[in-house]
Homo-oligomer: A and B are copies of this chain.
């Protein structure tokens, strides 16, 4: 696999009998082919597949690109590889519990996910497995893929927060991209914004509301709901992490903050080095006290420079009503950047859902098509 050839990928076996052609400024050019593999095919992975199908024409028009999915591997639904491309639409329609993928498998036998990565023939691996704070086993998979010269796009905070330097270094070494827009604020451009739209900018400090579950609970409690009822509702909506303590104790926000510090501020603060205080049933008193004083309690993540170091904190804070963070309600998120070029710039994502996380994968995919090397 030669990742530098992503723009001119034309495997003899991969080109269909009647080659797709397109007109570009009057010239007829064959479409370039790209192979994608999905590791994890839960809500986000499937929503991403829907986006790919919907944007097939757009990708062809914009990049002269034809894609196929040559592999999907999951924890509970089996695994499938097909070098001619899996019938994604059919798989999505037939989706249900059980090892449904196995029947579409037509490649060599795989005994492990590592085998899958090595054999699936992908140019790009989209990794959306579950968050484990340790970052494993996802880090092993990502390392395997990058090492094999496969671009990796992930929405998984664990590996990025815990092994940021090692993984970005490995990607650079192998001349491929390692992108992770979906790890913070779903598809709202954060890393891409800095990379593309704030050239030469230094972030002095940043703060934000990065965890939807706790913000939802706090704003529900403001309106009189109990902690338990608000948490239950958030869980019913499917927005909490599989283990809700990761949200409540501030681990999710700390992992995101750690990624922001490492990717945007050049710091090296890992999740466990972030001062962290979450919310619990006892927060009710603080919430009500804040409302009485015409203020709002929010779980605020902040990072600031102290000499050469970047300090990170995740804590409930009582905010003035006119603070932009106080206006963020429900599942919405905000990130406020304090910069040398643009002073204070904020980005707000309103009530995101699974489609927005999936859009992050698509947006990273486009980023790497535009610039296959970092």
Contact = CB atoms under 8 A, between A and B. Distances in A.
Interface stretch (A88-96, A126-134, A277-285, A340-348): A340-348
B329 A342 contact: no
A187 interface: yes
Given A187-B342, A343-B351, A197 B200 contact: no
A324 interface: yes
Contacts of A187: 341-342
Interface in A329-364: 329, 336, 341-353, 355-356, 359, 362-363
A189 interface: yes
A306 interface: no
Contact of A189 (B197, B344, B350): B197
Contacts of A324: 327, 348, 350
A58 B187 CA distance: 29
Contacts of A336: 348, 350
Contacts of A356: 341-343
A153 B314 CA distance: 41
Interface residues on A, range: 35 or more
B199 A366 contact: yes
Given A193-B189, A197-B192, A348-B348, A341 B359 contact: yes
Contacts of A326: 327
Interface string A186-211: 01110011001111100000000000
B342 A346 contact: no
Nearest to A365: B199
A196 B190 CA distance: 12
A363 B197 contact: yes
Nearest to A59: B200
Nearest to A55: B200
A231 B321 CA distance: 25
Contacts of A351: 343-344
A345 B349 contact: yes
Nearest to A186: B342
The winner among A187, A192, A349 for most chain B CB atoms within 10 A is A187
B193 A363 contact: no
A187 B366 CA distance: 24
Contacts of A359: 341-342
6 contacts: A192-B197, A193-B197, A343-B351, A343-B356, A345-B350, A347-B348
